[in-house]
Amino acid sequence: MEDKNSRQERRGARRIKKNLIIQYSMESAPELRKWDVSSVRDISEKGVSFITNGKFPLGIIVHMFIRIPLKPFEWFEVSGKVVDVEESRTKSQDPEFNISLVRIAFMDLKEEQKILIREYIAWCLSKDGGKK
C-alpha cells in the first residue's frame, strides 16, 4: 500500500493546498470549448488538482485558466494532461453524484509561469509558517 510520503516524493515539486479559482475545458478546438469553473485543491510547478463533476479520461488534455493571487488581475493560462482521477466514495452510493478529484500534469509550462508558481508557493509557506 502506497503512503502519502512516497506519493509526495514522486511528484518532484513542492505542492500546497490553496483554494484558487480555475476555469477548465477538455475541448481541443478553441471555438468548441465549453468552460466550467471549480476551485484548485493543490498546486505545484508540475501540476494541479481540482474537484470536478465531469468525467475525465486518463491522458486527455485539459485547457485551464488559473488565478494566482500574486497577479490577481491576470489569468494564468496553461494546458495539461490528466494523470489521475479519484472518484468520490459517495458515487458508489448514488450513481448520479459524479464528483471527482482530477490531477493534471502541466505541459509546456513557460519559465515565467514556473517562477510565478514557485514565488506563490514560497509566499504561502512564509505566511503559513512553512505549513503546506
pLDDT the model gives residue 9 = 43
Q: Residue 53 contacts by C-beta under 8 Å, 6 or more apart in sequence?
A: 98, 99, 100
Least confident of 28-37, 50-59, 99-108: 28-37
Set out the domains of the chain in order of their start, with CATH numbers.
Answer: 4-127 (2.40.10.220)
Whether the Cβ atoms of residue 68 and residue 20 lie closer than 8 Å to each other:
yes
- Cell 496553461 belongs to residue: 78
* Mean pLDDT of the region 45-61: 90
C-alpha cell belonging to residue 85? 482521477
pLDDT at 15 over 90: no
pLDDT > 90? residue 4 = no
Q: For the residues 71-100, what does the mean pLDDT come to?
A: 80
